[in-house]
A and B are shown apart, each in its own frame.
Chain A
């Protein structure tokens, strides 16, 4: 599989394709090369061979979001390709693909804009070629299922037969896109294109890459930044059968062996003892106190809505502080990478969300140029933002350079858990004001958190409100119609590695916001779902900082979960029902109603979740459902599972036993309602399901027990019946 993918890309680079066109930054088509040949490759994304087989290039990393399937659906739709005959190629970083990256739930929007045009251009060129051969008007020809048909006579040419002619044609500047009403593939429930490979064990992940002469490495990293080894047993490690080299690198000490097992055993035998942590090394408990104090500062004001003069004075204020912990990504496939450094060249096999960044950084490390670093992408056994960092590839490249051999570096589970770039802790201070009549009129939300440190901040960036908003999703974009709003951000330094995690900055902010709205509803004496709907009246389209929110879409998802969950119907003793909603960047709108029970020991069991989603145009309903289900399970892990804590600069958790994630027994019945949307494009689904699920759970816990959860994860001892 890897070999054929590379062969394809090489072919493209050699230019044996008849015509290559691409897209510049603004998404415009441009011609790169025009040579006669045996393939029709009108752009970077589509290639048709003489035998009629269609190869679609996927420019996003597949990590479970089904992107290979959904992007292929979009391309195949506009191309009118025969879905059963398409092949996929994965784009690798190159001069043509110079900005690959998967994150922020933007694959569908990107793809929708770029790939439809690519597919349509190819379709038009094929139709023009067929019309010229028949000497008929192109308007009398139509594309259908991998062929161009002359409608009046029913003559047809398979795409393969048109390859040579189409390759000589000029590019259509503005190919006409299909009408949504004519879609045959987009919107259909489409099983994963790689589903059979997965269930038969043939799907290839980074960990499965094998190349001739490959050695295996296990890397002992400094437990905290700046730690130096005090002692190690090199002789003992070398005595382990199969150990070849002990590679001292700038990133730690690697044991390299013939097998993974030799490397693991060698590392254990090496028994590196590190410096003791300095006094004052990072401690998450102390950090939480700093965050809490910071949350009471004024901070940088990210959004202000000044109350109109008619607004009454605040007669009553309620306040609360919400604590959000550190979490690990904990994908089941631990970080790994194969690197083969030879002189100034390097070949990499890796699962990554950031291929070009990886290529560039490996090139810098090796003092070479990016085009000398070939990056082959595999499937990813769980990304969630973790694989936007590329340090594991840099480690592998360094080890390969020292070992002078191709090396597979595999992280152990504790390596993965302790050396993650974590979801950062934050503390939120909220205040809500009511006027003399008891109407909710003011909203204050200050988030104390930390900027990501997995890549340096750009010193050129202006630190204005928009910039701060970017660090505080879910805070400034409160969708509710308070006449008086002020949101703020306070920065607290965080020395441990932290970076994007599923839904990035939103989960903590939306937890605090949606839980506190519930508190206000309670004080107001109103049903929390009705309270939200009331606060979503007024202008339908509102500007919340840099985000535009369509309150109609948010109301609709709330109304659907209200109706489908039999909201308001009685529940047994010890049970509760909670609601929460969110508009993710004004793109994807989701509401949940959660039913749960709390037992005598304070153990929470989520029993049922009703979800409603408006994510714009739905490309693959199966994918949307899967992401909602997965997002719910992710949220159950953060509400009821483990957290990461630090002592002496080191994460204390190292396994799924001490950083618990949801299992089958924690799984509720899930009902997903996908709403018809008036949006004109598809929006992301990987991240948006995550933020509102945790507050829906904690609000249900309040309904069941009368106890407000203001610190995650939920601690059963605090809910124990007394």
Chain B
């Protein structure tokens, strides 16, 4: 058990948790940020994805001892009003079904678009295929990623 300082959604937080407690539980149980979901705990579903410096990482795979002094953005911190291009694109393409996987999917897409501002189908497949949506929203997700890419490019101009 130790005091661990980390930044979540631009806010410095100090938590008192076991060194091996995965970040997903720090977020969900300790900080009550339940937008980050739990789906497997072993890094194969993507529900727990958060951003670190724009890169998508799996919070169930980061123990507290390693989360120390790092800065993460969760779905709650992506924008104040669902206005991030990915969130907008997701709404405009009506992606969500049950919605449970969607925070992780949106943040995974953010990471994808950071590395590939204009992703090919292959790049979308490679990055997004590490995440599971049992409702099968993939066709719309693909469209939303393209739309988000266009919105992001527009924003840069």
Interface set of A (CB-CB < 8 Å, partner B):
62-66, 191-192, 194-196, 198-205, 207-208, 210, 216, 241-242, 259-262, 264-265, 329-334, 379-384, 410, 412-413, 622, 626, 629-634, 655-657, 661-670
Contacts and interface: CB of A to CB of B under 8 A. Distances in A.
A363 B124 CA distance: 49
A201 B74 contact: yes
Contact of A333 (B41, B100, B103): B100
* A380, A629, A670, most chain B CB atoms within 10 A: A629
Interface of B: 1, 17-18, 20-22, 25, 28-30, 32-42, 44-45, 47, 74-76, 78-79, 81-82, 87, 90-91, 94, 96-103, 106, 124-126, 128-142
A634 B18 contact: no
Contact of B87 (A194, A199, A205): A199
Given A208-B34, A664-B141, A382 B25 contact: no
B142 A259 contact: no
A243 B63 CA distance: 19
Contact of B132 (A63, A656, A665, A667): A656
Contacts of A381: 37, 98-101
A202 B35 contact: yes
A265 B25 CA distance: 12
Contacts of A194: 99
Contact of B138 (A242, A259, A663): A663
A603 to B, nearest CB: 14
Contact of A201 (B36, B131, B141): B36
Given A632-B136, A656-B40, A380 B22 contact: no
Contact of A413 (B42, B90, B101): B42
Main secondary structure of the interface of B (DSSP, over half): loop
A508 B28 CA distance: 40
A198 to B, nearest CB: 4
B134 A661 contact: yes
Contact of B47 (A63, A196, A332): A332
A636 to B, nearest CB: 8
B152 to A, nearest CB: 16
A334 B79 CA distance: 28
A626 B143 CA distance: 13
A663 B74 contact: no
A382 B90 CA distance: 19
Contact of A665 (B33, B76, B91, B125): B125
A661 B100 contact: no
Most chain A C-beta atoms within 10 Å of own C-beta, residue among B47, B97, B99? B99
Contacts of B87: 199-200
A332 B136 contact: no
Given A201-B75, A656-B132, A207 B97 contact: no
A81 to B, nearest CB: 22
A330 B96 CA distance: 18
B33 to A, nearest CB: 8
A422 to B, nearest CB: 15
29 contacts: A63-B98, A64-B96, A65-B97, A191-B91, A201-B36, A201-B75, A203-B99, A207-B34, A208-B28, A208-B34, A260-B29, A265-B18, A329-B134, A332-B39, A332-B98, A333-B37, A381-B100, A381-B101, A382-B135, A413-B40, A634-B134, A657-B44, A663-B131, A664-B125, A665-B129, A666-B138, A667-B139, A668-B139, A670-B139
A10 to B, nearest CB: 25
Nearest to A412: B41
